[in-house]
Structure 1
């Protein structure tokens, strides 16, 4: 696997942000046109030697950082499949309400029961659910928990699984309910002239 020094530099630059156009322009300074850089950068990425070196560098980085696709998918799953009850609980509480007679003298107390929401201590939240928390702060109404975007996490997981297809399938029978489908070009032209 013998690469030129510029090919190695290209791979190093590409690994910064996975932008082949920017990496190509950074290594080949005489190229100023984005379109030219994009074409040549993508061509380099298809080069067998460059591709092999890039894959090796990415695997090395994965080992070094211990970040891999499984970990990323697990974090997304933690966010996507968390719910409010992972962070709070509804509890029933009782307080004693003073009871007064007609003259305003306290005669005793009666229990009043109510339900309230309590935030769980972070020590009581399962570790895999903590990644769903974007932030915790003391707000005007008490402690506020902001969660990461569950819908976005589900969307990213769905895309990874191939569940969502952004391509539009335009194949189909266009002659359905088309009153002009059997007419020739000459007949269509005649119809246009008659109008």
Structure 2
């Protein structure tokens, strides 16, 4: 591999965007899209990317099993763990770790008041939590374990010939139309 190709591999691992990796590696912005696609077809580039991903996985201890375990823990997390026996939201520091690591996207606290001006007193508060997309996690698990529950590509045969027949029919109809 050339030094430029090695830089491409390094840059590709940052965001898995071949076009941007090509630009950052020094290829022309004008042709970066084509260059990135071509580089990803070269066996030595593919091998270098795979080897670098493997090394990174070893360093971080993050692999497919880790991802699947994490997704399963997140999918199984019980929202009841965020509340006390009286139904009040627990302080964040008391939440189970899995909830503090990204399952909650945000917390909104609104104070409720009675009265006006100086005599206004707080009588309560409303706390709303915004959860991340748990359905997406289950979808990712389904894709990982290949249950095909969320298959994105549907294979349909016979459409090419149907399209050709429709095109011929349109042409026949156009030629039969009076001028």
- The TM-score bracket by the shorter chain reads 0.5 to 0.7
Which has the larger displacement, 44-53 or 120-129?
Answer: 120-129
Instruction: Measure how far apart 1:83 and its partner are.
Output: 3.6
Do the aligned partners of 2:12 and 2:18 also contact (CA within 8 Å) in 1?
A: yes
Instruction: Confirm or deny that 1:11 pairs with 2:40.
Output: no
Change (3 A) 1:193 1:23: closer
Instruction: Measure how far apart 1:23 and its partner are.
Output: 1.3
> Aligned partners of 1:56, 1:7: CA distance in 2, in Å?
15
Change (3 A) 1:24 1:124: closer
> What residue number does 2:88 align with?
118
Do the aligned partners of 1:44 and 1:50 also contact (CA within 8 Å) in 2?
A: yes
> What residue number does 2:48 align with?
53
Count of residue pairs brought into register by the alignment? 153
Once the two structures are superposed, what CA deviation does each residue of 1:92-111 show, in whole Å capped at 9, x if it has no partner? xxxxxxxxxxxxxxxxxxxx
Do the aligned partners of 2:77 and 2:98 also contact (CA within 8 Å) in 1?
A: no
> Aligned partners of 2:54, 2:110: CA distance in 1, in Å?
44
> Aligned partners of 1:48, 1:10: CA distance in 2, in Å?
14
> Aligned partners of 2:59, 2:36: CA distance in 1, in Å?
26
Q: Give the TM-score, by structure 2 length.
A: 0.64
Instruction: Measure how far apart 1:4 and its partner are.
Output: 1.6
> What residue number does 1:25 align with?
23
> Aligned partners of 1:38, 1:24: CA distance in 2, in Å?
8
Alignment RMSD, CA only? 3.5
Q: Quick check: which one's strand share is greater?
A: 1
- Return 5+ residue gaps in structure 1 as ranges: 92-116, 174-180
- Return 5+ residue gaps in structure 2 as ranges: 112-124, 160-164
Instruction: Confirm or deny that 1:155 pairs with 2:139.
Output: yes
> Aligned partners of 1:159, 1:75: CA distance in 2, in Å?
15
Q: Quick check: which one's helix share is greater?
A: 2
> Aligned partners of 1:124, 1:22: CA distance in 2, in Å?
42
Do the aligned partners of 1:13 and 1:26 also contact (CA within 8 Å) in 2?
A: yes
Change (3 A) 1:11 1:72: same
> What residue number does 1:171 align with?
157
Do the aligned partners of 1:79 and 1:148 also contact (CA within 8 Å) in 2?
A: no
> Aligned partners of 1:53, 1:32: CA distance in 2, in Å?
23
Change (3 A) 1:41 1:172: closer
> What residue number does 2:68 align with?
73
